[in-house]
Structure 1
Amino acid sequence: MTNSKPMTLKRLHPASGWAALAALTLAAPAQAQPAPQPGVQLFGLLDAAAGRFTSPSGVNAKEQAVSKVSSGGLSTSFWGIRGQEDLGGGTTALFELSSFMRNESGAAGRSDALPAPVNVAADPYFSRAAWVGLSHPDWGRVRVGNITSLLFLNAISSNALGDSTTFSPLNLLTFIGSPLSGGTAWANSVVYDSPVRAGLTGSVAYAASQNQGGPNAAARLAYNAGAFNTSLAWQSVNRNPQTFADGTSANDTRAWQWAASYDFNPLKLYGHLGQIQNRGTASAPQSVHYRVWDVSLGLPMGTGQWLAAYGVRNTGDTVAPVPATVAGGNVSRKLLTVGYDHFLSRRTEVYVLLSRDQTETRTLPAPPTLIQASGTSFAVGIRHRF
């Protein structure tokens, strides 16, 4: 197909007004859908934070906090291009290519390859998104390629701390240092998003195995009634993607998550409840269940907002013991984060965040014992959208 109009490079225009800015901040950049605009757009986000951090995968009995500069306190830094073409009759062709970046060093991706026993390759260049699709207001949208998982979309679209994988309790408990496999985006996937009908919309996703084991499947149903929003997501992962550095398990897993939020104006309250089932592998099957829940809130004040979130992951099942120096085998993990986000303009904000991480882990050597550990993370940062 050829363009009926020449392609032009455009910059995204932010929403105007403090109320719109607060709403944009509370929404997750990874899930927000841009307003239809013809041509090609350059977009992205830079987030730089400095402070002392414990491991995002959970504290262990001997861990010490590390002082560093990070490329993501409230959001992971990224840049990308996206565009669309009007094909006539209401049909639109769409695409997006976006890449994570580490602006403290200039390197691409979120991290380098993870060694054994995880054995996850480093992020490819367009690991955030690389898809092309078609949409129509009557029949919805179909996308093909590397696409944000529906479970991650469910988590970040109803979360006061958005898509933060450094300070959001929900994201840390579910996706980072978690028994969940599959990461936050699925390669080799086809996703269908239905049109909105009476506030209700649904999505289904399928990711082909491509010689990496069995296929992945997911579904999500969401309802928007103004101040009240709720959604339910489910996924089954039968392989561990070889190309994403946030995958922390090579096992088959199934998970579900219910999300809800209510805007009391000005206070907005969010909550999640879910479960992760670690099913092991074909040669070593398991059935270990982890229950995850969290609550979070955003409270506008002045030209900014207070943020707070608390989340817990527990298992009543037997988890394999690990050495005391490993942040795994958690019987329980609890996270509390508080902070303030101050808007300097419609695109730029500064923030301060404090997080407390507590774990109870079954450790080696034999006989296995339960060891409690805790750590504190603190950061000041700046986030800029373009």
Structure 2
Amino acid sequence: MNPSTQLAPALMLGLIGALPWQTQAQTAPASGVQIFGVIDAAVGSVTSPSGVNALDKPVNKQLSGGLSTSNWGLRGQEDLGEGRQAIFELSSFIRNESGAAGRSDALPAPVNVAADPYFSRAAWLGLSDARLGRVRLGNITTLLFTNSVTSNALGDSTTFSPINLLTFVGSPLSGGTAWANSVVYDSPVRAGLSGSLAYAASQNLGGPNSAARLAYAQGAFNSSLAWQSVNRNPVTFADGTSSNDTRAWQWAASYDFSPLKVFGHLGQTQNRGTAAAPQAVRYRVWDLSASLPIGAGRWLAGYGSRTTGNTPTAVAATAAGGNVSRKVLTLGYDHYLSARTEVYVLASQDQTRTRQQAATPVLVNATGHSFAVGIRHRF
């Protein structure tokens, strides 16, 4: 590997590799391949991140993802001249507490989470042009997940970030955080404005999926709007808790008051059911989070809510789905030992109100608490 092609430390501080807001804002190496990744290890007491139910109790465990899901990969580019490049990324999730690949093994209904293939985080090839933007083909992070993690004090955490938990983990949303069989176009940035379009072919499985995102960044202010439609297929990786067709939109914004930086989201997920059993249940989702630098670290806080005025289908007492409401509060401190290594402590409270099965369906309240101490290293 040519040392001149290594990523600069500033690039490695990005939340997710090779997404539009990173590559378009920086000058990429002319040609080469880079190894990159994040190892996140934590210990703590964690209640189900899918949303607590009346029978859930905290579990003492080791995590491979308190602030970030551990992952590693290869990213490369070849200079084709005249501002054009061939680009690719192959990256995999890691369960560093055991050495296993992926985030989890296959889980049956009602969770409906597929086992992660080795390069389930990203596996794509594309072409970029400094004037026209870029096109990527393969397994690619969804535009909705990109929208969520880039305007969020707790970044890409799917264990403690309220907006990520409410939108992607134990939620009515289908489609997961990456789509297979995708074609994605990312525009160049013009006067702070950029956009992306995504289409995931069904490959004879049903579907297809489609999405769009528009983003604006100028000085201390950032704002973006994402929309997606999922027809449950293609079969995606870690597809969430829903086997239904869904549509969702999300508006995100942030402002850096220096030193305090404030983030927010407002959105909606519509559970449309299936062709055999149509539904029209809408869930409103919002959150606020903040990051306040203190010395060599930063205080983190986030609060989010998901509610519905409709009546979700009643579920068993052991199921995480069917929430009438879910509210998550997270507080934490993140201390930097260097530009690439940090230690952190996080605590959260998760409250749900769920319509549960009975002779006469009843609403049951549940509260869970999670706590973790961890270390995160980027390379």
TM-score, reference length from structure 1: 0.94
Which residue among 281, 291, 303 is the counterpart of 1:288?
281
1:320 Cα shift? 0.5
CA-to-aligned-CA distance 1:347-372 (integer Å, 9 cap, x gap): 10000000000000001112000110
The aligned counterpart of 2:118 is 125
Distance, in Å, in 1 between the alignment partners of 2:58 and 2:109 is 23
1:137 Cα shift? 1.1
CA contact (8 A) 1:240 1:249 kept: no
The aligned counterpart of 1:4 is none
Distance, in Å, in 2 between the alignment partners of 1:352 and 1:117 is 31
Mark the CA change 1:247 to 1:211 in structure 2 (over 3 Å): closer, same or farther: farther
CA-to-aligned-CA distance 1:32-86 (integer Å, 9 cap, x gap): 6354012000000000010000101100011110000010000000000010001
The aligned counterpart of 1:325 is 318
CA contact (8 A) 2:110 2:319 kept: no
SS of residue in 2 equivalent to 1:158: coil
Distance, in Å, in 2 between the alignment partners of 1:243 and 1:256 is 19
The aligned counterpart of 2:16 is 29
SS of residue in 2 equivalent to 1:151: helix
Which residue among 211, 220, 223 is the counterpart of 2:216?
223
Which residue among 126, 140, 149 is the counterpart of 1:147?
140
CA contact (8 A) 1:122 1:243 kept: no
SS of residue in 2 equivalent to 1:33: helix
CA contact (8 A) 1:161 1:168 kept: yes
What's the RMSD between the two structures over aligned residues? 1.5
Distance, in Å, in 2 between the alignment partners of 1:57 and 1:133 is 34
1:114 Cα shift? 1.2
1:210 Cα shift? 1.2
CA contact (8 A) 1:240 1:247 kept: no
Is it true that 1:13 corresponds to 2:8 in the alignment? yes
Residues 12-161 of structure 1 aligned to structure 2 (within 5 Å): 12-15=7-10, 24=13, 28-30=15-17, 31=19, 33=22, 35=26, 36-37=28-29, 38-161=31-154
CA contact (8 A) 2:202 2:234 kept: no
CA contact (8 A) 1:181 1:253 kept: yes
Distance, in Å, in 2 between the alignment partners of 1:108 and 1:78 is 9
1:118 Cα shift? 4.2
SS of residue in 1 equivalent to 2:22: coil
Q: Which amino acid aligns with 1:306?
A: W
CA contact (8 A) 2:201 2:234 kept: no
Q: Which amino acid aligns with 1:33?
A: Q
The aligned counterpart of 1:200 is 193
SS of residue in 1 equivalent to 2:49: coil
Distance, in Å, in 1 between the alignment partners of 2:60 and 2:38 is 23
Q: Which amino acid aligns with 1:229?
A: N
1:324 Cα shift? 1.5
Residues 156-195 of structure 1 aligned to structure 2 (within 5 Å): 156-195=149-188
Distance, in Å, in 1 between the alignment partners of 2:277 and 2:357 is 20
1:238 Cα shift? 0.6
TM-score, reference length from structure 2: 0.95
Distance, in Å, in 1 between the alignment partners of 2:239 and 2:109 is 14
SS of residue in 2 equivalent to 1:177: coil
SS of residue in 2 equivalent to 1:172: helix
Distance, in Å, in 2 between the alignment partners of 1:129 and 1:252 is 23
Which residue among 264, 275, 278 is the counterpart of 2:257?
264
Distance, in Å, in 1 between the alignment partners of 2:287 and 2:79 is 42
Distance, in Å, in 1 between the alignment partners of 2:308 and 2:179 is 26
The aligned counterpart of 2:347 is 354
SS of residue in 2 equivalent to 1:173: helix
Distance, in Å, in 2 between the alignment partners of 1:161 and 1:251 is 28
State how many pairs are aligned: 372
Unpaired runs of at least 5, structure 1: 1-6
Distance, in Å, in 1 between the alignment partners of 2:236 and 2:249 is 23
Distance, in Å, in 2 between the alignment partners of 1:149 and 1:300 is 30
1:11 Cα shift? 4.1
CA contact (8 A) 1:209 1:239 kept: no
Distance, in Å, in 2 between the alignment partners of 1:316 and 1:80 is 43
Q: Which amino acid aligns with 2:312?
A: V
CA-to-aligned-CA distance 1:306-365 (integer Å, 9 cap, x gap): 000000000000101111222221000000000000000111000000000000000111
Q: Percent identity?
A: 74
SS of residue in 2 equivalent to 1:231: strand
1:243 Cα shift? 4.4
Q: Which amino acid aligns with 2:100?
A: A
1:246 Cα shift? 4.3
